[in-house]
């Protein structure tokens, strides 16, 4: 059995996060820990359990590691190439940080580049999920709501990749626009919309039947036979995606977490995530159970900001 088991790595991930995120250590020590964290992330992505060996240098096409080959085949060519690209940003610095031949301290910029690449690994987990479920306006609203409880940088990296892959996907365009507001600000969101205006205007607008279906999926029964819609995309008010997204950027409600006002990091977001998870009604479908497990994994070992202050 190759399968990655989250619980087997819970202690290790918690220790790695403690050492690389929650206490002050040298950049050399931090890079060594980040490399190890990246290795755990690769195990998760390729579904390689602790019964099999893995080194980051083995993450390549036609690897000498049979478990890596199997995982890469399951990931597919495009995402395998993306994984190799990300590891190429992590492994050289991480490897040097563990070798005694490298005697000088590493710069903050070098550490930040590796940290950013690890965020790319987090995003890759969700990119694969959304490709697998073929995310659309009919995707489970609970998935999209829970996904919004991740740091804006993870959401931005995920939706940006998916938008580049399919610029006709309404849900992806909408969520990328929102993630830009959350990570950056509304000014940059307006610029993104303007830069992509022709592409956005060319997106095929849903039909009346498709809008009704979307509204049903995004409704809850508040009393017998009475439903109330909680829609993110108000299709009825517009006739094209450009105007809809422009209005969404302008809407005061999208200012709530503009530029990460509510949360930017895992440590700031975890309380929101835990509160939502406690109150939500669980959907036991395979699609949702897979998503729940991914969300639990990315928050594994994370501490709230209030806890960190007491370390």
User: pLDDT digit string (tens) for 58-83?
Assistant: 999 899 999 999 999 999 999 999 99
Predicted confidence (pLDDT) at residue 228 exceeds the cutoff of 70: no
How crowded is the C-beta side of 2, counted as CA atoms within 13 Å?
A: 16
Q: How far apart are CA 83 and CA 66, in angstroms?
A: 17
Predicted confidence (pLDDT) at residue 290 exceeds the cutoff of 90: yes
291 token code pair: 């998503």
The torsion of the CA quartet 3, 67, 8, 93, rounded to 10 degrees, works out to -140
Rg (CA), the chain: 21
Q: Chain-wide mean pLDDT for the chain?
A: 91
Predicted confidence (pLDDT) at residue 226 exceeds the cutoff of 90: no
pLDDT interval class at 1 (50, 70, 90): very low
Of 94-108, 144-158, 250-264, the range with the lowest mean pLDDT is 94-108
- pLDDT tens for each residue of 118-171: 999 999 999 999 999 999 999 999 999 999 999 999 999 999 999 999 999 999
């Amino acid at each position: 059995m190759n399968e990655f088991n989250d619980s087997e790595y819970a202690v290790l991930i918690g220790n790695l996060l403690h050492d690389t995120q929650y206490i002050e250590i040298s950049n050399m020590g931090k890079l060594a820990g980040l490399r190890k964290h990246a290795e755990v992330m690769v195990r998760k992505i390729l579904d390689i359990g602790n019964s099999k060996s893995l080194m980051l240098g083995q993450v390549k096409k036609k690897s000498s590691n049979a478990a890596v080959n199997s995982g890469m085949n399951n990931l597919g060519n495009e995402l395998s190439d993306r994984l190799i690209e990300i590891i190429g940003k992590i492994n050289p610095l991480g490897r040097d940080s563990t070798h005694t031949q490298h005697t000088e301290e590493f710069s903050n910029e070098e550490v930040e580049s590796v940290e950013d690449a690890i965020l790319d690994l987090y995003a890759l987990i969700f990119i694969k999920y959304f490709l697998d479920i073929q995310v659309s306006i009919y995707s489970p609203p609970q998935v999209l709501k829970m996904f919004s409880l991740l740091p804006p940088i993870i959401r931005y990296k995920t939706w940006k990749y998916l938008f580049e892959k399919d610029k006709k996907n309404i849900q992806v365009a909408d969520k990328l626009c929102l993630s830009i507001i959350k990570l950056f600000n509304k000014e940059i969101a307006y610029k993104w919309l303007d830069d992509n205006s022709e592409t956005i205007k060319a997106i095929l607008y849903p039909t009346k039947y498709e809008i009704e279906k979307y509204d049903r999926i995004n409704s809850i029964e508040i009393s017998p036979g009475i439903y109330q819609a909680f829609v993110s995309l108000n299709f009825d008010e517009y006739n094209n995606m450009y105007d809809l997204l422009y209005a969404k950027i302008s809407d005061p409600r999208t200012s709530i977490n503009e530029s990460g006002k509510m949360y930017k990091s895992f440590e700031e977001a975890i309380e929101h995530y835990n509160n939502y998870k406690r109150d939500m009604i669980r959907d036991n479908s395979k699609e949702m159970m897979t998503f729940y497990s991914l969300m639990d994994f990315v928050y594994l070992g994370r501490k709230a900001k209030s806890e960190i202050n007491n370390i």
